[in-house]
Structures are given as C-alpha cells and as structure tokens.
Structure 1
Amino acid sequence: MPGSVKKKLTVLPQYTRAELMNHSEALFAVKAEVLAGALHEAAQQTFSIAEAQIRINQFLKAKVKE
C-alpha cells in the first residue's frame, strides 16, 4: 500500500513486584524496601522498568507527612 505508514508499537517487558524487588539494587540502585514503598499504592501487579523507575523517583521526592 503506497502512502501508508506502518507504526510498530513497542511493548515494554513487564515484571512482577517480586522480580523487581529481587533485583532492585542492580536495576535502580535502591534497596528493596524503597521499591516496596514506591509500589505500595499501585493497583497493578506488573511494571516495566521505566514505570518502576518513575515511581521510585516520585517516592524519593515526596515530602514526609507529619
């Protein structure tokens, strides 16, 4: 088909919380406890590495509630 553009959607691999926590220091340079806190309120059970990194960054920047 001339003129049509095919776009490939890249699907990032998804990992369970346990898989990410087992490798948290190697992947994110944080302890498993930090990752557990970052993913605590998430409803989903699987995450891409990029999604987990975003949640970790947000978690570390959050202000502590008194």
Structure 2
Amino acid sequence: MASFLKKKLPVLPQYTRAELMNHSEALFAVKAEVLAGALHEAAHQTFSIEEAQARINQFLKAKVNE
C-alpha cells in the first residue's frame, strides 16, 4: 500500500500593522507612510513579511489618478 503524506505549507509568522510600521525602514526600506498607504484598504489586521512586501510593491507601481 502506498501512503500519501500530506505536506503542509509552512505557516508564515503574522505581524500587526503597528509592528510592521515600527520597523518599515529596516524590513522594507520604505517610510512608515508608504506602508500605511499600502495596507490602507486591507481588510485584515495581520500580515506576513512577504504579503506586506507584495502590497508595498503593488502600491508603489500603482498609477496616480489626477
């Protein structure tokens, strides 16, 4: 019999907005204001480092409406 092992995806640590904003320059090389803008419309309150970085990248690439 072949047994199948279920591989779990690694659970990434989650951080609050405040924690990420306090360390935004060290973690993401952006000011806290940029991170605040990137996370502004997010529904949840905790983020992984990777998720926050992806939101920052998307925020910085967004076109400005005049």
Q: TM-score, normalised by structure 2?
A: 0.92
Q: Distance in 2 between matches of 1:6 and 1:55?
A: 30
RMSD: 1.3
Unpaired runs of at least 5, structure 2: none
Q: Identity, % of aligned pairs?
A: 86
Residue matched to 1:14? 14
1:56 aligned residue: 56
- Point out where structure 1 has 5 or more consecutive residues left out of the alignment: none
The number of residue pairs the alignment matches comes to 66
Q: Give TM-score scaled by structure 1 length.
A: 0.92
Whole-angstrom distance in 1 between the partners of 2:13 and 2:25: 19
1:9 shift after superposition: 2.3
